[in-house]
Amino acid sequence: MKDKVFAKKIEKKFEFDKAVASVFDDMLSRSVPFYDEVRKLIIALILAEQEDDKKILDLGSSTAKFLLGLYNKMEAQMQLKGIDNSQAMLDRAKQKCQAFGASIELELADMLTYAYDDEDVVVANYTLQFIRPMQRVELVKKLYSGLKEEGIFIFSEKVVFEDKKLDKEMIDIYYDYKKEQGYSEYEIAQKREALENVLIPFTIEENIQMCKEAGFKSINTVFQWANFVTFVAKK
C-alpha cells in the first residue's frame, strides 16, 4: 500500500500506529535513501559469519522486512527474533511471517527494559534516533553488556553535522530526494512537523563516542548517503 499518511492534516506527533504500519514498507523505501541496499548489506554481513543457533535480534523490527530478508537468505539455522513496542507493527509482521512460512520470533517489548541475554548480533535500523538522548546512551551500554564476547551491534541512523552550512545543504538534498520519490511539499512539511522533537539525531562523532563509552572496541561506518549512516560496533 502506498504511503499517504501525511497527505492530510495531522493532529498529533508521529507514532507507529495502525495507519503507519499499513504503509510502512513503502514509507521506508521512499523515505530512507538506499534503505533496501543497506538492508541487503547488513544481511550480507551477518551471512558472512552465519552458524547454527546464532542469535540475531532486531530492535524495532516493525513489519519484519529485514528479518524476512535474512531468513530467506540464510543457510544455517540461526535464531531470528524481533522486538517492537507497536502492536500494530507486530500484527503486520506476524501476517507476513505466516504468509512466507518463516520461523521468526516476534515479541511486544520495550527495548529500554528488554532483558538482553547472550546476543550474537543486535540490529537497529533507524531506531535509536527515536529514543531520548540520555536513554539512548544507557541503552547502548545495556546492549554491550547483553552481547556475547565479540558480539556485533549494527545500527543505521539519520545524523546531523556540526558544520551548520553543510547540515543545511544535506537537509535540502534530502528534501529534493523525497520530492523525487513522489512526496508533495505538503506531505514533507507535515512529516517534518510530526517528527519534531520525536526524532533526535546525533552527529556521526556522537554515535561513535556513545559506542566507545559503552565499551565497544571497534566502531566503523560501512555506509553513508548524505545524512544517513550505518555503523558496525564490535564488542
Q: How far apart are CA 120 and CA 9, in angstroms?
A: 43
User: Dihedrals φ, ψ of 84, to 5°?
Assistant: -155, 150
Q: Is residue 155 part of a domain?
A: yes
Q: Is residue 11 part of a domain?
A: no
Q: Is residue 204 part of a domain?
A: yes
CB-based contact 213:138 (threshold 8 Å): no
Q: Is residue 8 part of a domain?
A: no
What pLDDT does residue 176 have?
Answer: 87
Beta strands in the chain (DSSP E): 55-59, 79-84, 105-108, 119-125, 147-158, 218-225, 228-234
Q: Which is more confidently placed, 115 or 17?
A: 115
Q: How confident is the model at residue 6 (pLDDT cuts 50, 70, 90)?
A: very low
What pLDDT does residue 89 have?
Answer: 86
Q: Is residue 189 part of a domain?
A: yes
Domain at 82, CATH number: 3.40.50.150
Return all residues near 117 (Cβ < 8 A) that are at least 6 apart: 146
pLDDT mean over 18-40: 72
Count H helices, E strands: the chain?
A: 8, 7
What is the extent of the structural domain holding 166? 18-234
Q: Is residue 10 part of a domain?
A: no
Kindly report the pTM of this predicted structure: 0.86
* Number of structural domains in the chain: 1
pLDDT mean over 153-181: 91
